[in-house]
Amino acid sequence: MRSSVGRVSELLFGRHPERCDVLLILATAVCGAALVMRQAGALAPLQQIILLVLALDVLGGMVANLTRATNDWYASRAPALSYLFLVVHAAQPLIAVLFLKADGAFFAFLYGYSLIAGSVVVGRRRVPSHQVLAVALMAFGMVGYNAFITPPPYLTWFGYAYLFKLVYAFAVNHSGKA
């Protein structure tokens, strides 16, 4: 019987992740968060902590969702779990709105677009062209984010990373296994 720590670890890294993958996930999260925090000087200490946790989660998740262990773990489960994953990720842009001075359009665009685009890709995982579809939807989302959303400077990175994490890294079945 797995412990609750083991179950959480599977959600983050998949079952039996490669050591190199875990190191790359952690290195990306930590180094990326350090770069994000260079722009956080004007934030209050609690806001800086929230931004740090958000950066660790989103940046680490970008890499984690691309690993074979995480990809195969989610691909081997019912699609409902993938849709739930997309729904639960409303928390990240919502936290940015509630605590980091992002406006409602930031939340509405990023979450709405990522939920729709990610769901379309998850629904087409068995179609070989779903990877190309994901890149097209991610690119369109990134251009839309750039054209219509003006986040505070310390959150500019967030939209691009969030779209990559959910629409491409997570929604695509990279190995083709089910």
d(Cα 113, Cα 110) in Å, to the nearest integer?
5
Average pLDDT over residues 129-151: 97
The average pLDDT across 88-105 equals 96
- pLDDT band at 13, cuts 50/70/90? confident
114: Cα separation from own chain's centroid:
10
Span 1-17, mean pLDDT? 71
Residue 3 has pLDDT above 80, yes or no: no
Q: Residue 33 in contact with residue 52, Cβ under 8 Å?
A: yes
The pTM for the full model equals 0.92
Nearest-angstrom CA–CA distance, 114 and 167: 6
Residues 6+ positions from 122 with CB-CB distance below 8 Å: 79, 82, 83, 86, 171
What is the pLDDT confidence band of residue 17, given thresholds at 50, 70 and 90?
confident
Residue 24 burial (CB count, 10 A):
16
Between 5 and 153, the higher pLDDT residue: 153
**43 near 154, Cβ under 8 Å?**
yes
- Inform me whether the pLDDT recorded for 175 exceeds 90: no
Burial of 163 (0-12, 13-18, 19+ CB in 10 A): buried
Report whether pLDDT(112) > 60.
yes
Question: How many CA atoms within 13 Å lie on the side-chain side of 109?
Answer: 23
Mean pLDDT, the chain, as a whole number? 93
Least confident of 5-9, 69-73, 97-101: 5-9
Tell whether the model's pLDDT for residue 153 goes beyond 90: yes
